[in-house]
Structure 1
Amino acid sequence: MPTDVTQRQRLLEYLEFHAPARARELEGVGVSAATISRSVLSGEILRLGRGLYGLPDSTPDTHETLIEVAKRAPKAVICLTSALAFHGITDQLPRRVWIAIGARDWEPKITYPKIRTVRFREPYFSGGVEEHQVGGTTLRMYTIPKALADAFRNQRLVDRSVAIEALKAAIEQRKATPSAIAEAAQTYGAWNQMRPYLEAVTSNG
């Protein structure tokens, strides 16, 4: 049927640039639930989770879970180990996506992907936020200096060894200057915890 063929083309074209996508997004661009189901059965697309779809031959997006969380909780900010991993300064792959919300914000109810929510009061929540366009979605993410400050400030949530290695990686890879890192640590209450490690890394350099 021409209509079905047209919907299938629209489905594949949308997923080419916006995967992973939820059923409601696909229906919003004119793809019926029946077309989605048939495309899954034929193997043209994959069902990644409840109501979540992608292409089988696409290169796996390491930020796929971040994209999905950003779609479900657009006001949240990706933080702590998830932010360090996004910036490429830790080898840790968190099992859950770490997100920060404001002290009075409603906590997002997301079953997939798994999330870990922390509440940051001001200025810790709003400060040091940047936006990245990934897979057609805006990711709100803490900058490297802010993410490092948060990691050192929250030793209960981020192991100190992970924070130290991320600090070293950020400086060695020239992804952030020592002065910017120090300024963020002072601004966001992590200077006492970070200072000896920052001084050690810079003196060895």
Structure 2
Amino acid sequence: MKRAQGQRPGPQDGLIRAGLLSARSGSQATASRLTSRGTLVRVERGLYQGADAEISIHNSLAVVSAKAPKAVITLLSALHFHKLGLERPWQEWIALPRGSWAPRLTSLRLRVSWLDEAELAQDVEHHTIDGVAVKVFSPARAVVETFHFFRQVGLEPALDALKDYLRCTPNGVQPLMAIARRRRAYNKMRPYVEALL
């Protein structure tokens, strides 16, 4: 649904912050009043969603990104977003800049990896999910990250993702290995890539 220019988002637009509702109406009680009427549903502290809003299958990524705008979706969550591998994560995996705070969420479990800001800014795709800007590592970067952090993720999900990536992206070996070299995962990945080619 497209909004008219200058019109603020409303409950039908997906996720919305309580501060935006307060600014729109001039009252801080707006969110609680709309929640008690059944117009809004509280998703997290300070974050609401229209009761009749269409929710995407990646709504949890939108919730995380709304609470942590600097976060980049990584590892198993990024693989699932790109439909690589078989595993559906039971927690959301995000990367944050070193020194920043991880959000506390009541509805989701988070796993955080801390990266330098320069490394965090590379290989990022920008998507909009439920009205929220979401940053996700590219498919090649997500595969490389699983090898880089294979002790946390496990080798099997990394291999499944690599197989799917090579099957879906036949010309993607060079960009994949360039990222692997930069992320110091080249030596871990090379034997598996050579075996699968």
**Higher Rg:** 1
Matched, 1:197 2:192: yes
- Please, which runs of 5 or more residues in structure 2 have no aligned partner? 1-6
**8 Å CA contact retained: 1:78, 1:98:** yes
**Which residue among 106, 117, 128 is the counterpart of 2:123?**
128
**SS state at 1:85 partner:** helix
**SS state at 2:35 partner:** helix
Within 5 A, what are the aligned runs for 1:1-205? 14-17=10-13, 19-30=14-25, 32-103=27-98, 105-112=99-106, 113-121=108-116, 124-174=119-169, 177-202=172-197
Q: TM-score, normalising length from structure 1? A: 0.78
Alpha-carbon spacing, 1:102–1:139, altered in 2? closer, same or farther (3 Å): same
Partner Cα distance (2:58, 2:76) in 1 = 13
Q: TM-score, normalising length from structure 2? A: 0.80
* Deviation per residue, 1:142-174 (Å, 9 max, x gap): 111111111101111111110111111223233
Partner Cα distance (1:125, 1:201) in 2 = 28
Counterpart code for 1:16: Q
Q: How many residues align?
A: 190
**8 Å CA contact retained: 1:146, 1:188:** no
- Please, which runs of 5 or more residues in structure 1 have no aligned partner? 1-9
**8 Å CA contact retained: 2:11, 2:53:** no
* Residue identity (%): 30
Partner Cα distance (2:58, 2:27) in 1 = 27
Q: CA RMSD in A?
A: 2.7
Counterpart code for 1:183: A
Partner Cα distance (1:71, 1:165) in 2 = 30
